[in-house]
Chain A
């Protein structure tokens, strides 16, 4: 069964460093998302991406964040200068579109900023 994959599973970085989180959505899906979940809290929406552009972003998704779909399969989230409060689980999700609304999540990348 097709699934969303994410790499790495765990990333440790120092404050101020840039990180890139990678995702491979399900191949025939058209809508892509990033969410984050701070430990013990609810899942929060960051950004949605469709037709090679951002369709919506939250207040969390400030100038330090960017997303890219560099080729036909990968979808990346870049954090330019990480802060301690960026420590969280980051989930990528995708959905097919065309009347299908279910979003399928990847296993997540746990980001730890020290």
Chain B
């Protein structure tokens, strides 16, 4: 069975500093995708970044990068130069890619607070 674990219920970071949000996963699927979503207090789910299990390089999207360590089954999100608008809940998710349905399995989330 697939599982996503986010062990940090809450994190604080100073504005303009970098922060790492942890995510570990468990799967027996040979091919899978890893995702991060941001959920502000308004409630919508905003796609941030995707990493495929066979991708050789870590994914980056602007200030977001995904630190993918396949052997350790971790997919940490790094946010550089934090901004006040980054304060939100962040969810790590996984999708088995052998199954074309592609459902997302989510972790419990980490609430990030950016301090001025």
Number of interface residues of A (CB under 8 A): 26
**Residues in chain A near residue B33, CB distance under 8 A:** 101
Task: Tell which of A62-70, A73-81, A102-110 binds the partner.
Answer: A102-110
Query: In whole Å, how far is B10's beta carbon from the nearest beta carbon of chain A?
Result: 13
Cβ–Cβ contact B103 & A42, under 8 A: no
A22 is an interface residue with CB less than 8 A from chain B:
no
B35 is an interface residue with CB less than 8 A from chain A:
yes
Given the interface pairs A55-B101, A89-B43, the reply to whether A101 lies near B108 with Cβ below 8 Å is no
Number of interface residues of B (CB under 8 A): 25
Binding site secondary structure of chain A = strand
Which of A31, A43, A44 is close to B45, meaning CB atoms less than 8 Å apart?
Answer: A43
Cβ–Cβ contact A42 & B50, under 8 A: no
Query: In whole Å, how far is A95's beta carbon from the nearest beta carbon of chain B?
Result: 7
Task: Tell which of B13-21, B65-73, B79-87, B92-100 binds the partner.
Answer: B92-100
**Residues in chain B near residue A102, CB distance under 8 A:** 35, 47, 50
CA A35 – CA B45 in complex, angstroms?
A: 11
Which of B35, B104, B107 is close to A35, meaning CB atoms less than 8 Å apart?
Answer: B104
Q: Which chain A residues have a beta carbon within 8 Å of chain B's beta carbons? A: 31, 33, 35, 41-45, 48, 50, 55-56, 58, 89, 91, 93, 95, 101-108, 110
